[in-house]
Amino acid sequence: MSKILIIYTGGTVGMIYDEKTKALRPIGFNEIRNNLPELYRMGIDFYVYAFNPPIDSSDMQPEIWVELASIIEDRYDRYDGFVILHGSDTMSFTASALSFMLENLSKPVILTGSQLPIGKIRTDAKENIITAMEIASTRHNGQVVVPEVCIYFDFALFRGNRSKKYNAEKFEAFYSMNYPPLAEAGIDIKYKTQFVLPVPDKPLKVHKQLDDNVTVLKMYPGITRKAVEAILSVPGLRGVVLEAFGSGNTNTQPWFIESLKKVTDKGVLVVDITQCDGGSVELGKYETSQPLQQIGVISGHDMTFEAAVTKLMFVLGQGLDPEATRSMIETSLRGELTPINHDWE
């Protein structure tokens, strides 16, 4: 019998409608369990670690990621897998952060939640939790099938650091534009093992140092010099995620390039990702991105925004020299980016 730890952080999955306030409020895991008797019929030995009070995912912080990583580290040898119940709004951020923090992960860490509270008749919470539990406990010939941090939602399993929440209303809330699903759930769960990371032969190493001195500069037509300089003048700034157009393009006005050059000259890392959900940054492909190369902007390739932000926090927290830091950003650490064009079909 597989032994699974459920970590309940909060989110819509654990909310009920309060008649007095006319708003959703969080509930404890016992009430979730009462609405999900199927858990006891799965043949899985499960235990629960519940955050008290539950956390709305909009309040998620790097300190909580460190706490989650510590919970898994402290109990790693006692469980076969982990299921994290989490609000959907920042689930991709948490999944991405944990993927970097849990080096040499050899057990499933599956995040899931729901779009409707578990007490609602049409809730998607039951299927999401039950299938996430099954995935976390699945072995083939004694071997772990998915030794990764993943998100399971609406019949699809995605690599956590490749996922993005794209819809606030559909049950199909997440997708992964630049990498195929790792599994699809129908009558059976069909694993696409060719896309899954191999099981490492090294012991788990947990990284708890994150540097949140990062900011985001999103390009748009008409962006002003004052706005750019305000964003780039944050005290203690160490990293910038530059959300550029298309394949990494920005405007080429001298003041804009000079503003970026001032921070890169100070050692601030500027990582260029595309605003598009799909596709990759190719610095130098167009003339408008060539100046970025010349001033030392780093390509984020096809990373999601969520992966880029959390990876920057993770890498900056390692205390490496500038060259090693830049190299780590451009290197695929946990399958979060594709360095070169690749056809996954």
| pLDDT tens digit sequence for 239-294 | 999 999 999 999 999 999 999 999 999 999 999 999 999 999 988 787 777 889 89
Q: Confidence class of residue 30 from pLDDT cuts 50, 70 and 90?
A: confident
Q: Is residue 335 part of a domain?
A: no
Among 173, 190, 206, the domain boundary falls at 206
* pLDDT at 345 > cutoff 60: no
In the block, residue with structure tokens 């650091």? 161
d(CA 104, CA 147): 9
In this structure, the strands spanning 164-165 and 174-175 are antiparallel
> What is the end-to-end Cα distance of the chain in Å, rounded?
36
Here the tokens at position 324 are 């090693």
Count the Cβ atoms, other than its own, within 10 Å of residue 246: 17
285, 247 contact by CB (below 8 A): yes
Contact 191, 185 (CB under 8 A): no
In a shared domain, residues 222 and 142: no
Q: Give the per-residue pLDDT at 63.
A: 98
**233 falls within a domain:** yes
149-170: average pLDDT:
97
User: What CATH code is carried by the domain that includes residue 302?
Assistant: 3.40.50.40
- Give the domain extent around 11: 3-206
pTM here is: 0.94
**Does residue 344 have a pLDDT over 60?**
no
Q: Do both 43 and 179 map to the same domain?
A: yes
225 and 303 share one domain: yes
Taking the CA atoms of residue 82, residue 86, residue 88 and residue 94 in that order, the dihedral angle to the nearest 10 degrees is: -70
Mean pLDDT, range 157-181, rounded to an integer = 96
pLDDT bucket at 24, cuts 50 / 70 / 90: confident
Contact 113, 12 (CB under 8 A): yes
Domain co-membership, 249 together with 158: no
Do 196 and 75 lie in one domain? The reply is yes
Read off the pLDDT band of 101 (50, 70, 90). very high
Are 266 and 305 within one domain?
yes
Strand partners for 25: 16
Residue 130 identity (one-letter amino acid): I
Active site residues: 12
Q: Which two tokens stand for residue 267?
A: 């050692």
Q: Are residues 182 and 260 in the same domain?
A: no
Mean pLDDT of all residues belonging to the chain: 93
pLDDT at 342: 55
Number of compact structural domains in the chain: 2
CA–chain centroid gap for 99, Å, is: 7
Which domain-ending residue is among 206, 238, 263?
A: 206
Taking residues 14-24, what's their average pLDDT? 76
Asked if the structure places residue 113 within a domain, the reply is: yes
CATH number for the domain spanning 161: value is 3.40.50.1170
SS3 269: strand
The last residue of one of the domains, among 189, 206, 223, is: 206
In a domain, 24, yes or no: yes
Interval 295-326: pLDDT, tens: 999 999 999 999 999 999 999 999 999 999 99
pLDDT over threshold 80, residue 28: no
Residue 38 sits in the same domain as residue 162:
yes
Q: For residues 28-46, give the mean pLDDT.
A: 85
Q: What does the pLDDT look like over 41-91, one tens digit per residue?
A: 899 999 999 998 889 899 999 999 999 999 999 999 999 999 999 999 999
**Residue 343 pLDDT:** 55
Identify which of 184, 288, 178 has the alpha carbon closest to the alpha carbon of residue 242: 288
Q: Which residues contact 15 (CB under 8 A, 6 or more apart)?
A: 24, 25, 26, 27, 117
Q: How high is the pLDDT of residue 18?
A: 73
Looking at the structure, do residues 167 and 292 belong to the same domain, yes or no?
no
Mark whether 189 and 252 lie in a shared domain.
no
User: Closest Cα to residue 272, out of 210, 218, 339?
Assistant: 218
Say yes or no: 190 and 239 in one domain: no
Displacement of CA 171 from its chain's centroid (Å): 19
Q: What is the pLDDT of residue 118?
A: 85
> Are residues 17 and 147 both part of a single domain?
yes
Residue range 21-47: mean pLDDT, rounded: 83
Task: Establish if 339 belongs to a structural domain.
Answer: no
Burial of 110 from C-beta contacts in 10 A (0-12 / 13-18 / 19+): buried
Res 340 pLDDT > 90: no
